[in-house]
Structure formats: C-alpha cells, structure tokens
Amino acid sequence: MSSKKKQQKAMAPDSDEESPNSLKLSNNRYLTVSDFKNKVRVDIREYYRNEDGERKPGKKGISLSMEEWKKIVSNMDMIKKMIKDQGDSGSE
C-alpha cells in the first residue's frame, strides 16, 4: 500500500464518525495522525462534501512534523497563558 493510500485511510471517514486516527474538531475540521513517506504527521484540515456527499480533504490545513507537534505540546502552558492574555477567560 502506498503512503498516499495509508494517509487517505487514516483521514476522516466519509461519515461524521471519528476513526481511531482522527479527531473531529468541528463540523468540517479534523485532526488526523497519519504516515506520509514513512514519517508520522499530525494534520489539521478542513473537509468538504463532494457532489456525491463524500467527505474529502480540502486545501485549507496544515501538516505538522513530529518535531513541530512536540514543540506545541511541550509549550502548552505558555500557549494557554497567551490565549488567556488575549482575553479568552474560557482557557484553562
């Protein structure tokens, strides 16, 4: 199976259900973990429905390397503080 096929299999399914490798963030946004060229990636992407009603990945999104993802995770307290400083009282 090619890397592209592996990535497509790991992406959000055609239904609104989450797969073991995806997390529904909102109505049309998913976070997915996939393998691309033998490297694990964290992808946050908007999806759309085609004319047949199938959910397809759109152009809007970002694919993070493990290094980038780990930097976000290790700095989560600082990120939460930056969000709070911007006026979001709902952040932890």
Question: If we measure between CA atoms, which residue out of 25, 1, 21 comes closest to residue 11?
Answer: 21
> Does 91 reside within a domain?
no
CATH at residue 67: 2.30.31.10
Query: In this predicted model, what pLDDT tens digit does every residue of 68-80 receive, in sequence order?
Result: 999 999 999 999 9
Half-sphere exposure of 46 (CA within 13 A, CB side): 5
Instruction: Say what angle helices 76-85 and 66-74 make with each other, to 10 degrees.
Output: 60
- How many domains are contained in the chain? 1
Domain residues for the domain of 75 are 3-85
Model pTM score: 0.69
Question: Is 64 a member of any domain?
Answer: yes
Specify if 41 maps to a domain. yes
pLDDT digits (tens, 9 = 90+) for 45-88: 999 999 999 999 999 999 999 999 999 999 999 999 999 999 87
To the nearest 10°, report the CA torsion of 84, 61, 56, 37.
-120
The beta strand positions in the chain, using DSSP E, are 22-24, 29-36, 39-49, 55-64
